[in-house]
């Protein structure tokens, strides 16, 4: 026998019998026999989409003298030793199994029902409502009516992410990413058989909670794999799902959905704690911590990397963007794009002249921030490589970050003067045209930048990247696993 917060499951011979608990948990009501029968019928119909040979139908338990029999879900019993959760706990290589599950899920999503009703649950506001409902339920389930440690920060991070990301969710709907999915994808309910996986126990009690972004559906299993102590498997599964589904979602959205799923499970664990299940409270605390770590990792960031010519800012910008897996935009490249000049073509001019005049610089920085705003609103973090010596341009970047609810970090690269001169003398041709004379003129006109974190680039590149990462991600030691999806500046 196994017990969940909504059901009791009996394993007898080669059959499994699932009995719904007569409970009212606000988000579901099984207090009547008719309600439980409808839920059983719905469960069989929906789960046959993923495991048609497992769900045999709706049966009944009858008691002598009882007027109404108790409806039950009848299933073919699966081998416990092939349960995905068991394989992970034993340290068995599950890459092939996860690849098969990812393919099965992506295939189902490709043909899953879509429509206005499904799309309505994919909006930013719909997701916000689900978060708010969970926040309220978690507080109500706490013994003293207050939220557990970490929930206040979770709320703050959720509100900040959602506030600036409406275009991202609108774009996901336009791409057809909203599906009638599984809704409750846990490793305990997946069985890795020789002829392919069987995925059981989808969410049946509320259609709206099953109408989700396909990535949100997949994130549930990723969260669960992490809870089982295998974050590498979690990242691998989401990468495989993204490959099979052709989903280019930004890493921030993946982390946000993993956090959402962790918080939903924390709520379930609190319900189980109220029902007396041993270890449920500890599980809830772990899940809250997981949600917090992923929300920190999901924060959308705007990193300004500035400095004079020869300071190493472009080299650091490229290495930092590659390490973070974010978009890199360069003022040198964008300036020439706007002028209709190939990035590597020389356009040298005296200080403040040609395409380096104040008017051209204003035009370049305005376009740089405009492109960044679009990317940030779509959940893409950005590294901006420019000198940032003008205080008005820095202020414009700060205002844009505030509008898009992005975290702004400013880095100012510097090296000794003799190293600057040596770098400018010996560097290979590239997008920048600045020579030693231009650099000297810019240094004379440069304004203080007290808000920026100074980065010494005179040592190794790795040392400079380490300094930069500590400023960009102050919680690096506590963050959840990261997605490696490199971004390059668009051609």
Alpha helices in 385-446 (DSSP H): 391-403, 417-426, 436-445
How many angstroms separate the CA atoms of 290 and 272, rounded?
A: 19
For residues 383 and 473, the answer to whether their CB atoms sit within 8 Å is no
User: What sign does the CA torsion over 42, 47, 49, 54 have?
Assistant: negative
Q: What is the pLDDT of residues 353-377, one digit of tens each?
A: 666 788 888 999 999 999 999 999 9
How many angstroms separate the CA atoms of 35 and 450, rounded?
A: 64
The mean pLDDT value for 221-242 works out to 96
Query: Kind and range of the H or E element at 85?
Result: helix 84-89
In this prediction, residue 486 carries a pLDDT of 36
Q: What is the pLDDT of residues 118-132, one digit of tens each?
A: 999 999 999 999 999
Exposed / middle / buried, residue 65 (Cβ in 10 Å: 0-12, 13-18, 19+):
exposed
Exposed / middle / buried, residue 412 (Cβ in 10 Å: 0-12, 13-18, 19+):
buried
Angle at 358 between CA 353 and CA 361, to 5 degrees: 100
How many angstroms separate the CA atoms of 112 and 225, rounded?
A: 25
The dihedral region occupied by 147, where left means phi > 0, alpha psi between -120 and 50, and beta the remainder, is beta
Is the model's pLDDT at 66 over the cut of 60? yes
Higher-scoring residue by pLDDT: 486, 71: 71
Exposed / middle / buried, residue 140 (Cβ in 10 Å: 0-12, 13-18, 19+):
exposed
Strands (E), 323-406: 327-330, 382-385
Is the model's pLDDT at 475 over the cut of 50? yes
Higher-scoring residue by pLDDT: 145, 285: 285
Angle at 240 between CA 234 and CA 245, to 5 degrees: 125
Is the model's pLDDT at 396 over the cut of 60? yes
Helix axes 331-339, 358-377, angle to 10 degrees: 110
Query: Kind and range of the H or E element at 314?
Result: helix 313-324
Higher-scoring residue by pLDDT: 205, 433: 205
Is the model's pLDDT at 221 over the cut of 70? yes
Is the model's pLDDT at 487 over the cut of 60? no
In this prediction, residue 491 carries a pLDDT of 34
Is the model's pLDDT at 439 over the cut of 90? no
In this prediction, residue 422 carries a pLDDT of 72
Query: Kind and range of the H or E element at 446?
Result: none
DSSP 122: T
The encoded tokens of residue 176 equal 């057809």
For the domain with range 301-478, which CATH number is right: 3.10.180.10, 3.40.190.150, 3.40.50.300, 3.10.450.40? 3.40.50.300
For residues 142 and 285, the answer to whether their CB atoms sit within 8 Å is no
Q: Write the CB contacts of 190 (distance below 8 Å, at least 6 apart in sequence).
A: 83, 84, 85, 101, 197, 198, 199, 200, 221
Per CATH, the number for 79-298 is 3.90.1200.10
Nearest to 217 by CA among 188, 253, 250: 253
Strands 196-199 and 190-193: antiparallel
How many angstroms separate the CA atoms of 456 and 459, rounded?
A: 7
Specify the domain boundaries for CATH 3.90.1200.10 within the chain: 79-298
**Phi–psi pair at 79, nearest 5 degrees:** -70, 120
How many angstroms separate the CA atoms of 406 and 167, rounded?
A: 14
Q: What is the pLDDT of residues 199-214, one digit of tens each?
A: 999 998 888 889 999 9
Confidence label for 343 from pLDDT (cuts 50, 70 and 90): low
Strands 382-385 and 301-306: parallel
455 three-state secondary structure = strand
Specify the domain boundaries for CATH 3.40.50.300 within the chain: 301-478
For residues 149 and 288, the answer to whether their CB atoms sit within 8 Å is yes
Percent of the chain with pLDDT over 70: 89
Strands 190-193 and 178-180: unpaired
């Amino acid at each position: 026998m196994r017990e969940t917060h909504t059901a009791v499951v009996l394993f007898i011979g080669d059959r499994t019998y699932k009995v719904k608990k007569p409970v009212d948990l606000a988000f579901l009501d099984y207090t009547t026999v008719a309600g439980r029968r409808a839920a059983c019928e719905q469960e069989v119909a929906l789960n046959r989409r993923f495991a048609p040979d497992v769900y045999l139908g709706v049966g009944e338990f009858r008691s002598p003298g009882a007027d109404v029999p108790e409806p039950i879900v009848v299933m073919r019993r699966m081998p416990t030793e092939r349960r995905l959760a068991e394989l992970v706990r034993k340290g068995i290589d599950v890459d092939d199994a996860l690849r098969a599950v990812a393919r099965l899920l992506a295939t189902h999503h490709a043909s899953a029902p879509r429509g206005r009703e499904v799309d309505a649950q994919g909006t930013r506001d719909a997701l916000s409502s689900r978060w708010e409902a969970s926040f309220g339920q978690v507080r109500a389930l706490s013994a003293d009516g207050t939220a557990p440690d970490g929930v206040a920060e979770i709320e703050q991070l959720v509100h900040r992410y959602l506030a600036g990301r409406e275009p991202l969710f609108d774009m996901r709907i336009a791409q057809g990413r909203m599906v009638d999915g599984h809704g409750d994808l846990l490793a305990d309910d997946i069985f890795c058989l020789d002829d392919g996986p069987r995925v059981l126990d989808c969410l049946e009690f509320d259609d709206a909670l099953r109408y989700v972004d396909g990535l949100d559906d997949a994130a549930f299993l990723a969260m669960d794999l992490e809870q089982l102590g295998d974050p590498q498997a979690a990242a691998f599964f989401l990468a495989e799902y993204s490959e099979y589904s052709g989903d280019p979602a930004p890493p921030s959205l993946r982390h946000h959905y993993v956090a959402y799923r962790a918080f939903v499970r924390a709520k379930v664990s609190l319900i189980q704690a109220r029902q007396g299940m041993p270890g449920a409270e500890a599980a809830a605390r772990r899940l809250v911590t997981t949600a917090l770590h992923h929300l920190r990792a999901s924060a959308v960031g705007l990193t300004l990397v500035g400095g004079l010519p020869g300071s190493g800012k472009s080299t650091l910008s490229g290495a930092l963007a590659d390490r973070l897996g974010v978009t890199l935009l360069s003022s040198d490249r964008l300036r020439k794009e706007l002028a209709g000049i190939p990035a590597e073509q020389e356009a040298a001019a005296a200080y403040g002249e040609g395409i380096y005049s104040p008017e051209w610089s204003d035009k370049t920085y305005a376009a740089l921030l405009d492109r960044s705003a679009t990317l940030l609103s779509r959940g893409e973090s950005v590294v901006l490589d420019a000198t940032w010596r003008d205080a008005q341009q820095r202020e414009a970047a700060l205002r844009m970050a505030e509008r898009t609810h992005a975290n702004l970090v400013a880095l100012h690269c510097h090296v000794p003067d003799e190293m600057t001169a040596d770098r400018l003398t010996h560097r290979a041709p590239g997008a920048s045209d600045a020579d030693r004379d231009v650099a000297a003129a810019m240094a004379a006109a440069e304004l203080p930048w007290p808000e920026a974190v100074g980065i010494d680039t005179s040592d190794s590149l790795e040392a400079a990247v380490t300094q930069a990462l500590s400023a960009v991600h102050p919680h690096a030691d506590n963050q959840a696993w990261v997605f490696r999806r490199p971004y390059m500046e668009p051609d």
